[in-house]
Amino acid sequence: MKFGGTSMAGTERIRRVAGIVRAQAARGDQVAVVVSAMAGETDRLVNFCREANPLYDPAEYDVVVASGEQVTSGLLALTLQALGCKARSWLGWQLPIRTIEAHAKARIETVDAPELIASMEAGEIAVIPGFQGVAEDGRVTTLGRGGSDTSAVAVAAAVKADRCDIYTDVDGVYTTDPRIVAKAKKQKAVTYEEMLELASVGAKVLQTRSVGLAMKEGVRVQVLSSFLGEDAPPADDLPGTLIVSEEEMEELVEKGEMERQLVTGIAHDKNEAKIILTRVPDRPGAVANIFEPLAAASINVDMIIQNVGRDKGETDVTFTVPQSDLARAQALLEDRRGEIGFNRIITDSKIAKISVVGVGMKSHAGVASTMFRALSDRGINIQAISTSEIKISVMIDEDETELAVRVLHTAYGLDAVS
Ligand code: ADP
Ligand code: ASP
Ligand code: MG
């Protein structure tokens, strides 16, 4: 069981979480619980680091930001004990959850489970802080924002759990963010592949890496709400959204429990920025000169467009980077202006990426044209397009994000009938 930040926000909420955990244990299950820091706490800790030293050392940043989860894991263990349950916390370095040394964005390598399993078999509820681990050198690491989902899936895989229930503040995965589109529909099931794609283009309900890990390890994941009353159906009845394999999805469709759909979800991402380099020489090696220094600096480039060459053997190159890397990317490119040979560098962080995702696209034409027509009917200009086998993304003005998501939700027939 994993509980996110809003579920853990304060002792009152934690008491509710403890009630849910106790009820699951009372069904005769052995339970491990992974918790997030209280909502807003990680942001607060990140700000402290920035105030202390804008060029903070990631290893010390990890020492600071990992503390939020230490607090909530201890508090949940205490609350469970107050309810008469046997419970104890296991910090990342105690289990340990071993990660690579990349501070602030570490990846889990192994979770040592024998002691954990022994304690669970002895009837103790294990409470584990998400987001944190320990590197080879013994120092604390964190997994990147939203990383508690990945901690939960990794623990589930290590103890060979029957299921990994991700409790959050919505009751499942919807066709789009239900906070933006009131008519969004809850999905009974979503395939790993679709969820992976949705998460990677901005549906933050699950951290992308957690979905990749679940897919690789075959962990059965359910997304459900911790905000329902005492009379809510038990998690074992699968009231939330299940992340399933394509075969399982086929079975659900055949049994009539799921409709076959072209588009499964729409996601948006406002965290990218656009860079345009004008009048780049139109010859072999020119784009390599642009992207090599960015790659060397671990800056992830997402959408890329190279315009048709102009007459003088020149072209414009447009691409996106995470907003948090924009200043660094710009400085790197300016430094290499001579070598790359561009004229101007134009940046814009007021853009958004809107993506539609669905495995149905593999075998159906017309998904892209529906998108472009629906956006143009509302006067929304498309600045860039990129596609994968099961996804189409467009870049638009950030101010039009909510409108675009709503319009597309209707265009693909996803609106819930009220
Ligand atoms: P937690 O703190 O529990 O990890 P998050 O805030 O990380 O919760 O993720 C839950 C949020 O994800 C929801 O409140 C919702 O606004 C957002 N969200 C975005 N896209 C979707 C989607 N397709 N379905 C459900 N929730 C979504
Ligand atoms: N507390 C961390 C964050 O806010 C990890 C998580 O909640 O998943 O990013
Ligand atoms: Mg989250």
The pLDDT of residue 85 is above 80: yes
Burial class (CB in 10 A: 0-12, 13-18, 19+), 113: middle
Specify the ligand 1 atom closest to the Cα of 179.
16
Ligand 1 site-directed mutation target among 14, 168, 197, most atoms within 8 Å of CB: 168
- Residue 168 Cα to ligand 1 middle (Å): 7
Strands (E), 218-339: 221-225, 241-244, 265-269, 272-281, 304-306, 314-322
Q: Are 391 and 397 in contact (CB under 8 A)?
A: no
Q: Are 38 and 72 in contact (CB under 8 A)?
A: yes
131 lines ligand 2 (CB under 6 A): yes
For residue 265, count other CB atoms closer than 10 A to its CB.
Answer: 30
Q: What is the mean pLDDT of residues 130-145?
A: 97
For residue 330, count other CB atoms closer than 10 A to its CB.
Answer: 15
What pLDDT is attached to residue 161?
Answer: 98
Pair of tokens at residue 270:
């406002």
**Listed range (86-90, 272-276, 306-310, 320-324) with the worst mean pLDDT:** 306-310
Q: Are 172 and 240 in contact (CB under 8 A)?
A: yes
129 lines ligand 2 (CB under 6 A): no
248: Cβ contacts below 8 Å, ≥ 6 apart: 189
Q: E strand or H helix at 125, and its extent?
A: strand 125-129
The ligand that comes nearest to the alpha carbon of residue 3 is 1
Q: Are 132 and 140 in contact (CB under 8 A)?
A: yes
pLDDT tens, position by position, 173-203: 999 999 999 999 999 999 999 999 999 999 9
Report all structural domains of the chain as residue ranges with CATH numbers, in order of start. Answer: 2-254 (3.40.1160.10), 261-418 (3.30.2130.10)
Q: What is the mean pLDDT of residues 58-69?
A: 97
φ, ψ for residue 299 (rounded to 5)? Answer: -95, 120
Confidence of residue 306 (pLDDT cuts 50, 70, 90): confident
- Compute the C-alpha angle 384/262/370, nearest 5°: 45
Q: What is the mean pLDDT of residues 120-141?
A: 98
What pLDDT is attached to residue 308?
Answer: 75
pLDDT tens, position by position, 201-245: 999 999 999 999 999 999 999 999 999 988 999 999 999 999 999
- Residue 269 Cα to ligand 3 middle (Å): 15
Q: E strand or H helix at 21, and its extent?
A: helix 11-26
Ligand 1 site-directed mutation target among 38, 180, 204, most atoms within 8 Å of CB: 204
Q: What is the DSSP string of 141-156?
A: EE--TTTHHHHHHHHH
φ, ψ for residue 139 (rounded to 5)? Answer: -90, 150
For residues 354 and 299, give the distance between their C-alpha atoms in angstroms, rounded to a whole number. Answer: 21
Q: What is the DSSP string of 36-51?
A: PPPTTHHHHHHHHHHH
Confidence of residue 37 (pLDDT cuts 50, 70, 90): very high
The pLDDT of residue 31 is above 90: yes
What are residue 347's DSSP bridge partners? 275
- Cα four-point dihedral sign 83, 68, 9, 131: negative
Strands (E), 19-117: 32-35, 87-89, 97-99, 108-111
* The model's pTM: 0.93
The ligand that comes nearest to the alpha carbon of residue 67 is 2
272: Cβ contacts below 8 Å, ≥ 6 apart: 302, 320, 321, 322, 323, 349, 351, 352, 353, 395
Q: What is the mean pLDDT of residues 59-78?
A: 98
Q: What is the mean pLDDT of residues 40-60?
A: 94
Q: What is the mean pLDDT of residues 293-302?
A: 93
For residue 172, count other CB atoms closer than 10 A to its CB.
Answer: 22
Produce one character per residue of 270-299: b if its CB has 16 or more CB atoms within 10 Å, e if not: eebbbbbbbbbbbeeebbebbeebbeeeeb
174 lines ligand 2 (CB under 6 A): no
What pLDDT is attached to residue 345?
Answer: 97
146 — alpha (psi -120 to 50), left (phi > 0) or beta? left
pLDDT tens, position by position, 354-380: 999 998 888 888 999 999 999 999 999
Confidence of residue 62 (pLDDT cuts 50, 70, 90): very high
Ligand 1 site-directed mutation target among 177, 243, 354, most atoms within 8 Å of CB: 177
Residues with Cβ within 6 A of ligand 1? Answer: 4-7, 36, 146, 168-170, 173-174, 176-179, 203-205, 265
What are residue 142's DSSP bridge partners? 132
